[in-house]
Every structure is written in C-alpha cells, then in structure tokens.
Amino acid sequence: MKLMKNGSITSPQGYTVGIATCGLKVSAQPDLMLLHSIRDCTAAALFTRNQVVGAPITLNRETLASNNKTVRAVAINSGIANVCTGALGLQNARSMQSMTATALHCQPDQVLVLSTGLIGVQLPMEQLSAGIGTAATKPQSNGGPEAARAIMTTDTLPKHLAIRIYTPRGKVTIGAIVKGSGMIHPNMATMLALITTDANIPATNLQSLLKPAVDASFNRISIDGDTSTSDAVLLLANGTSGISCARGESRQSFEQALNYLVTQLAKQVVQDGEGVSKLVAIRVSGARKRVDAHRVANTIATSPLVKTMLAGSDPNWGRVMAAAGRAGVHFDPLHTKLWIGTDQRKYLQLVEHGAACDYNEPDAVRILSSTDFEIHLDLGCGQQETTVWTGDLTREYVSINTDYRT
C-alpha cells in the first residue's frame, strides 16, 4: 500500500465534489460540500451514541435502514449543526436531502446528509438551497482537499488522506476527509468522517470492515472528554475499479489499509485539537483484559490533572498513577511500572514496583516538552494492552470555547 500525495475522497475512481459558500459561517468561508459518485455505492456508517442527536443523524439512520446498497451522494454543511431544532429541524434535513437529490438527479434515499456547527440554530434553507445548486453545477474530480476545508468548524487545518492498495487483480484506492477539533472523546465516532473507495464490497462486508477500524482509531482518541451530538463516520464503496475486496487476500489488504488510514487521521484530529500542542500516546499494558487496558488508558487520557501536567511538561507522574487507580480496574500498585519516551529504545523509567525510580528530572522534562511522545504504564497483572491518543489541556482551549459563539 502507498499513501497518495494530497489524497482525499476524490482520489478513488468515480467521485466528484462540489463546494459552495452559503453564509452559515461568520468567517464567510466555504461551508457546504456535495460528494457525488458516478455509480451506486454500498454504504456503512457508525453514529454517535449521545442521546441528543442532530436531525441529520436521525435521517441517516432511517435512510440506511432502507437503502445501504445504492447511495449516490453525501451533502455536508458546517457552521450550523441542526441539533435541538425540533420537528422543523428534521423537516429541514429532509429538505436538504431532497434538494441534493434533485440537483444531482438521483432519489432522496440515495443521499446522506451531515451538519456540524452551532447547536440550537435552524438552517437557513433558502441560502442552503442556493449553495446546493451552486455546488452541484461545479463538480471537481480533485476537489477533496477543498471539501475537507469546507466542513471545518474550529479546526485549524483540513484533514484528508488517501491510500492505494495493490491486489493480485489490480489497484484500489481509499480516500477520506475528517473534521474534528473539540468535543472529541471515544463514544463511537467522535467527529465527522467521510471515507470513499472504488473497491467492490457488499454493504454487509463494508460494515464489518468499518466497525473494527473505528474501534482501533477514532475510538482511541480524546481531547476533552465530551462527545458530540453529530458524530458520524460514513464509508462508501462504488466498485468503479472492478476489483472485489470482499474476501481473501484482497480483503486483508483492504482492511490493513483502512485501519492505517483512519488511525493516521485520528492522530491528525488530536494534533489539531482545540488548544492542543502535544500528541501523546497513552499505552497501558499488563492488563488481564483488553477492555481493562482501554478503561485505564482512557481514564488517564481524559484526566484534567494529567492533561495540565502534559501542558506544563511537568513530570508529576503521580497524576498518571492516581488516574489509573480510579479507573475501576483491579491491579496491584506494587506491580506497576511507568515509562515515558519519544523512542522506545531509549525510554525513561519513572516508576518500578509502584515507587519512584532514580531518574534524571531534566531528562523527564525534556521528553515531556516534546510535541509527540508516549506514556507507558504496565499494570503487571496480565498480557493485554492497548493505546489511546490524547493531547494536553492549555489556556487556549478555554479561550476557543468561551469565544465560540461570539
């Protein structure tokens, strides 16, 4: 497999993107993208588990329950989330779906819609209608990077990747765009992600490929412990390459590439997190069960005290140990070990048998001052492990979120 330069959702064969500015953002930047496939797509999706969901999530669940085999388009707007908007909000989501279908000459149940931005605000449908018309008339076969920019809210950088897979029958491509900067925490999806491929994969196979990939990537990142009302991951496969990746060696290659792609994008989300200056891997090993390792790692990753420790490059490792201890997983503190490092061959050990090692504090500060490093805690009671990714908590996070509406 090979990462493609400037790759995105239009890197696979058969997809185009249209971009428009509807005036939904104070910045007056592009705020709408339409993805269109020249062929019917099978579709898989995962959505937020938050009980308060946006109208587009409700509509997409309904749409995919009746049609996950002939999807043709995805419309995404940014600036307004269409959440907590009542019956009118759901009506507007349906109108957005219908307007897109009309503009792209397909059926409403062949269109999925997503919205992100402010909660509690109704979509201005006349502006949105005009934008959909504009975007539909200007399809671009290389417009994926601009699509990634159009769906941004508090993101500072567009996030997009594509990867090419070489199978015995030829090459297939997977492309993706992601937006996410705040309200990021494992609870299924944790942001908006749109993934495309020109491989031929039945819908049932596609769903079975997507869920473990999300579990190992987007469900292993945390910025602030909050989950969004609009979280979604969509995966479309239009089969334009003519190559099946439903089983055997081709499926294995596709699965490996998909997992790699979404993991890299998940890390990009953390690196672009609100106020984040450091990408930190929290690795927990020596657990009895993998779910236990995840619970401990997640508790460490979301601890405000740990995250402020990271922001200050302060080797106050007691905060890591205290967070692990309240995770609800049984282990013996006297069997624990703790390391930090940027290079696994030269990790600095801070804790042995639950007590401080004789380490050099300036070395610890130097590692914690890096922009990319790992904290490794071994619980000493089993063979299971996992890794999650988090960032530091800085004053900038507070500034971004206190000024978000103004």
- 342: annotated active-site residue: no
Query: What span, in angstroms and rounded, lies between the C-alpha atoms of 79 and 84?
Result: 15
* DSSP sequence for 199-260: SB--HHHHHHHHHHHHHTTGGGEESSS---SS-EEEEEE--TT--B-SSHHHHHHHHHHHHH
Annotated active-site residue in 42, 100, 190, 197: 190
For residue 95, give every residue at least 6 positions away whose Cβ sits within 8 Å of its Cβ, in sequence order, or none: 125
Residue 244 and residue 201 in contact, taking contact as beta carbons nearer than 8 Å = yes
**Which one, of 193, 189, 120, lies nearest residue 155 by Cα?**
193
Residue 337 and residue 378 in contact, taking contact as beta carbons nearer than 8 Å = yes
Q: Which residue has the tokens 């190559």?
A: 243
Query: What span, in angstroms and rounded, lies between the C-alpha atoms of 56 and 83?
Result: 8
Residue 53 and residue 229 in contact, taking contact as beta carbons nearer than 8 Å = yes
Residue type, 398: V
Residue 138 and residue 21 in contact, taking contact as beta carbons nearer than 8 Å = no
Residue 47 and residue 65 in contact, taking contact as beta carbons nearer than 8 Å = no
Return the active site residues. 190
